[in-house]
Amino acid sequence: MDTNGCVSSPSSPAIGRLSPSSVAALKANFMDTQSNVMTPKKSFLDSLILREIRKQLNSPGGCDIQSIQWDNSPSENLNLIKDRYLLSSAGSSPKGNFADLSSYNNLKCLDIYTEENFLCKIVNEPFNKVQTAYYQVGDCVSDEHGHKLIRGVRDIIPLSKNRTYVIIPLDNGFENLHTYIRDKKRISEEEAHGIYRQICETMRACHNNGIILRDFKLKRFFFLDKERTQIQYESLEGSIILNNPDDDVLYEKIGCPLYTAPELLTPNSTFQGKPADMWSLGVILFTMLLGQYPFNEKNGRSLFNNIRNHNVVIPNALSGNVRCLIRSLLRRNPEERLIADDIFYHPWMKTAPRPVQIAEQKFDMMMDDHCVPEVPSMECDDVEMG
């Protein structure tokens, strides 16, 4: 699966053993290094402590870490999986310091043997399906730049019958696409063209392999280079892996409100996953070019009403080709939207656009209230659609 070749089998143990004294020392040191966890690859933990942990893990006895109790409620919850990876998530837990972390997102992860830091994602799919999905799309690369479109994995570990841990490398220090657009306010068609093509390549690779992304948004893409020309999708967290790639009927209506397709807001109990993903592609392109979401209200009910009523205006300041592409993706009827394979035949996608100058004053008033938010709100919260 990756350069380390680590993929666990379904029988791999989920919980390891530590002595209470080692756990106490580990907690103190681990919490002190959290501000550095996203930058170095090597851990700042005391190597003597890690050595003791490894020694105890390789010896009989010890205690089940789930049974360890703490006098005070900690600010960090810890757990050990596969007798190798220490997971951490900020926030208290009613179960105490060693807790069930399966309801958390963006778990921090430490390999206690190599002392490297990782991220741990949870995919709500069985181990075998997740393993197959990463095998199918893990080597998909950008046509232009040749880099992998989806971040590789260090390990895949079964969590339960229908949930799986995915251990992935940390980002390389460059920002995500949401932050980039927020800071620049918007980007030109010329700059957006190459970035957006990689986004569409990611969608195509997933759809062709029976993966519905659902949580497809700017924040999930990270830059790989200082020139900000190459991007990569973070993980398959939040995705649905189809049993039959040609049958994309879904029942669970969950996603980010600002990227929600109108069919998810109807009384119908089912919807098609691929067209809903394509709607998100339209939201992404609109936001990249205009620095605002096509449907953006602080109140969730007003937001959903605007989406249902299809209240979107595409400014004439954009080129005719890109306006056509956005309209082709943001169609109310999901059957009329472009599919992932066909989007590459659209005129705007086939030819790099000429530079277009957009007068600042045309958007100043609009951006005051509807720009990409500096503080994450509905942009990153996934909710169940009623």
**Model pLDDT, residue 83:** 85
Say if strands 240-241 and 117-123 run parallel, antiparallel, or are unpaired: unpaired
Q: Quick check: 1 pLDDT over 70? A: no
The Cα 212–Cα 207 span in angstroms is 6
Domain 17-169 of CATH type 3.90.180.10: no
- What percentage of residues in the chain have a pLDDT greater than 70? 69
* Residue 121 near residue 89, CB atoms below 8 Å: no
The H-or-E segment that residue 221 falls in is: strand 221-223
pLDDT digits (tens, 9 = 90+) for 45-92: 556 666 766 777 776 765 344 433 333 344 457 788 888 898 887 544
Average pLDDT, the chain: 79
Q: Say which residue, 14 or 331, is predicted with more confidence.
A: 331
**Model pLDDT, residue 61:** 60
Mean pLDDT in residue range 354-374: 50
Q: Quick check: 375 pLDDT over 90? A: no
The Cα 295–Cα 302 span in angstroms is 9
State the burial class of residue 285 (Cβ atoms within 10 Å of its Cβ: 0-12, 13-18, 19+). buried
Tokens 């590459």 identify what position?
Answer: 344
**Model pLDDT, residue 362:** 47
**Model pLDDT, residue 372:** 57
Q: How confident is the model at residue 172 (pLDDT cuts 50, 70, 90)?
A: confident
**Model pLDDT, residue 299:** 75
Q: Say which residue, 386 or 118, is predicted with more confidence.
A: 118
Q: Quick check: 189 pLDDT over 90? A: yes
The Cα 238–Cα 193 span in angstroms is 26
Max CA pair span of the chain = 71
Mean pLDDT in residue range 346-372: 61
Domain residues of the chain, as ranges?
17-169, 177-384
The Cα 176–Cα 303 span in angstroms is 24
**Model pLDDT, residue 119:** 92
**Model pLDDT, residue 16:** 47
- Tokens representing 36 are 């550095």
Q: Quick check: 12 pLDDT over 60? A: no
Q: Give the contacts of 106 (CB within 8 A, at least 6 positions apart).
A: 89, 119, 121
Does 17-169 match 177-384 in CATH topology? no
pLDDT digits (tens, 9 = 90+) for 327-351: 999 999 999 999 999 999 999 999 8
Task: Name the least confident of 194-198, 238-242, 295-299.
Answer: 295-299
The Cα 296–Cα 303 span in angstroms is 6
CA dihedral of 166, 169, 174, 179, whole degrees rounded to 10? 10
pLDDT digits (tens, 9 = 90+) for 90-141: 544 433 344 455 555 678 898 988 889 999 999 999 999 999 999 999 889 9
Q: What Å distances lie between residue 330 and 69, 109, 286, CA to CA?
A: 52, 38, 10
Q: Quick check: 352 pLDDT over 90? A: no
Mean pLDDT in residue range 178-191: 96
Please give the angle made by the CA atoms of 253, 210 and 144, to the nearest 5 degrees. 110
Q: Give the contacts of 32 (CB within 8 A, at least 6 positions apart).
A: 44
Domain 177-384 of CATH type 1.10.510.10: yes
pLDDT digits (tens, 9 = 90+) for 281-320: 999 999 999 999 998 777 778 899 989 988 889 999 999 9
* Residue 282 near residue 238, CB atoms below 8 Å: no
Q: Quick check: 186 pLDDT over 50? A: yes
